Structure 1
Amino acid sequence: MTRRSTPPRITQRRIAELAGVSQATVSLVVNGKADAVSRIPAATRERVRQVLQDLEYVADPAARRLAGVGNRLIGVFTYEPAFPSASRDFYAALLTGIESEAELLGCDLLMFTSAPVEDGRRSLFHPSTRLRLADGCLLLGLEMDGQELERLVDSGFPFVAIGRRDAAGVPFVAADYVAGVATLVERCWQLGHRRFAMLHRDSSGESVQDRLTGFTEGLRRQDPSAAAVAWRSADEGDDLTDAWAELRASGATVLVVESPVHALAIHRLAVQDGVRVPEDLSIVTLADPSHSAEGDPDLTRLSPPRTRLGSESLSLLGRILDPDVEVGPDELRLTLPCDIVPGSTLSEPADHHLETT
């Protein structure tokens, strides 16, 4: 008796190749979400459906249940208190992006808050954390425990970190702070600034380190021997009176202040001392302010794509969860460019005109 050979499995990757579209597009069509996604033209949807019909493709519900997709619950875990007031608009923008993508994917969001905050942080593996109630999880936080992340990778639980992570094997979506800060430094240099000072957050988080790298690389690209005339670090909520005095005494013509909260505080101290911004001193910051009050300046700043970070992170997690989508190693880490907002706190240094005339 001749055994009948099993026909090769039809995957969404094969369908995408035949239809000339991405696997994500095929997944949306298969799951009946394409009509809700305006970016997919009707002709493209029809082409995918025709290929599905020709190949007699049927999604494997058992495989979907096995992968946990059937629950359609996505967890959101933050290492920090949910959510720190100093960063509320950063998280609000992220959650806006996450929520919009969850609606497209037809998923509900589950906020993990049962693990207690100890020493200002939560633990992924605290006994109270019920991570596996969800199909997968998004991780938020300035600083994350690298050993916990690697343990989570080894466990096989699907997750995506928001922000670059050094831990091996961690999928993430991050802002390109290195390139963004270097570009902002270049813009200051082109205006004539040669004496830079830096006030950065007192943190070992990868995003903080990337901003510092962008700052030093940006200076060295303009002049290999260039270096900041002053460095200071500070935590959120610190009194910046001494830092301001030191930065001002350094002779810097532009202050690069990582935190917008710190930048606004430095601006107020400058005004109190009769220092005009930007005529006497320029101030730039490396994120958007959490909120603005009457009289606050329009800070010249780097603007990370917060909302897109949220939506792209959940989009990546959705592809990881989908058993019919193959996500290659080079697709597990995505870096998004930052914008620069001109604002009103950067101009050429006061002595630049004298030097060039």
Structure 2
Amino acid sequence: MAGTKRLTQHDIAKLAGVSQATVSLVLNGAPTALARIPQETRERVQHVIRTTGYVADPIARRMAKGLNRILGVFTYEPAFPSAQADFFTPFLLGIEEEAQAQNYDLLLLTGAGVGRERKIFADGNRLRIADGCLVLGREFDREELKRLVTGDYPFVAIGRREDAGGPVPYVGGDYANATRALVEKAWALGHEKLAYVGPSGSAESVIDRWRGFAEAITAGAELVLHLDEVGGAADETLDAIVASGATAVFFVELADAVRVEAVARARGLSVPDDFSAIVLGSHVRAERSHMQFTAFDIPREEMGRQATAMLVRRIEGDAPVEQILLTCEPVEGQTLANKRT
């Protein structure tokens, strides 16, 4: 077509020698409709579409079929670039892989808000361009989550979320059981005095780790140190660990474990000979370490894939609210010693 005029279905129909209704049926791709169109006609229309580079208007397709075949992805923290970029990347890889398999495109919703605070429902938000939305973040805005739950817009959270005006559909990692398994392993290896470095509240992922730890130590081990607010110098954290007599230290954040281990090494102390160090999760970005910490693996890519598949089910049918926790497999590592030998 000459000039810069946008091609329409009417133009495609004229070039293919068919009706506009036939072009619409071919584009929408419903099997029952395509069965009524001769194969030669379908191929002719598809050839014209390919050779002209025609792209269907998403708004028109929404009106005709009810779907744009677009999934929104909203993160409460910036995904590209940021200090947490590597944290989000595996989720996004899984989301992209499943979206492609389901024949959906992705729309990254950066949102708006006051200062650096992101909001899903900020003025001028473009949420409804997407047929549904995946929501990621260490902590969610509870009022926005309640608005999503009580509304009619399909969404799925990545990570376990407490009820907010009703049950929240999510795919998360089973941090409580993974943490419990690591504590029980330390106990079985002879560790009776334990330390916990990291918070016990706020985000659900933090609460779940603490719950798994607290439930496991009732078996007989003793919590001799809990540093709830970490952020001071690593040497002060190490001082507290040594003074407590803990033989196994559980770190919520890998970065804290790396810094404490480096300070310990500089003082002539050894991990795991002088004390063991266990990290509650496979955190992706932190300072480099010369050793593999004993931990558990967070299946981030699989969480992204399953959350995307769940969202498509919610978009395309009247699917019930699902809440899935995926197993976090243990990582052997080099930092948990056997005290019984």
Q: TM-score, normalised by structure 1?
A: 0.73
> Does the CA-based 8 Å contact 1:86-1:290 persist in structure 2?
no
8 Å contact from structure 2 (residues 149, 168) kept in 1 = yes
SS at structure 2 position matched to 1:283: strand
Matches within 5 A, 1:180-195: 180-195=178-193
- Partners of 2:75 and 2:202 in 1: CA distance: 17
Distance 2:253 2:168 in 1: 26
SS at match of 1:229: strand
Query: Higher relative contact order by CA 8 Å / sep ≥ 6: 1 or 2?
Result: 1
State yes or no: 1:341 paired with 2:331.
yes
Contact 2:255 2:286 in 1 (8 A): no
Gaps of 5+ in 2: 1-29, 33-60
One-letter identity of the residue aligned with 1:209: I
Report what 2:320 is aligned to. 328
SS at match of 1:228: strand
Corresponding position of 1:90: 87
- Which of 85, 106, 110 matches 1:109? 106
From the superposition, tell whether residues 239 and 77 of structure 1 become closer, same or farther in structure 2 (CA, over 3 Å): farther
Q: Indicate yes or no: 2:237 matched with 1:243.
A: yes
Matches within 5 A, 1:62-73: 65=62, 70-73=67-70
**Shift of the alpha carbon at 1:158?**
0.5
Question: SS at 1:173's partner residue?
Answer: strand
User: 2:132 aligned to 132, 136, 143, which one?
Assistant: 136
Say which of 303, 307, 321 aligns to 1:309: 303
1:83-133 deviation digits (Å, cap 9, x = unpaired):
574433221110110010011011111111141464x64222211432111
- Superposed displacement of residue 271, structure 1: 0.8
* C-alpha spacing 1:76/1:239, structure 2 compared with 1 (3 Å): farther
Q: Give how far 1:68 is off.
A: 7.3
Provide the residue aligned with 1:55 in structure 2: none
Q: Percent identity?
A: 39
Instruction: Judge conservation of contact 2:258–2:287 (CA < 8 Å) in 1.
Output: no
Aligned residues of 2:277 and 2:335 also touching (Cα < 8 A): yes
Aligned residue for 1:267, secondary structure, equals helix
Matching of residue 273 in structure 1 with residue 267 in structure 2: yes
| Alpha-carbon distance between aligned partners in 1 of 2:200 and 2:82, rounded to the nearest angstrom | 17
Summarize deviations over 1:225-245 as a string: whole Å, max 9, x none.
Answer: x4411011346x653332222
What amino acid is the match of 1:158? P
Task: Give the drift of 1:198.
Answer: 0.4
Q: Residue deviations 1:207-232, cap 9 Å, x none?
A: 10000001111111x22xx4411011
- The alignment partner of 1:290 has SS state of coil
CA distance, structure 2, for counterparts of residue 190 and residue 256 of structure 1: 15
CA distance in 1, matches of 2:112, 2:86: 23
Q: Which residue of 2 aligns with 1:26?
A: none
Relative distance call for 1:230 and 1:242 in structure 2 (3 A) is same
Q: Does the 8 A contact of 2:173 with 2:327 survive in 1? A: yes
Q: Measure the CA separation in 2 of the matches of 1:216 and 1:200.
A: 13
Larger Rg: 2
Q: 1:346 to 1:69 in 2, by over 3 A?
A: farther
Write the mapping of 1:1-357 to structure 2, written as runs, cut at 5 A: 65=62, 70-83=67-80, 85-116=82-113, 118=115, 121-166=117-162, 167=164, 168-201=166-199, 204-220=202-218, 222-223=219-220, 226-234=221-229, 239-291=233-285, 296-323=290-317, 326-329=318-321, 332-349=322-339, 352-353=340-341
Query: TM-score under structure 2 normalisation?
Result: 0.76
Q: How many residues align?
A: 283
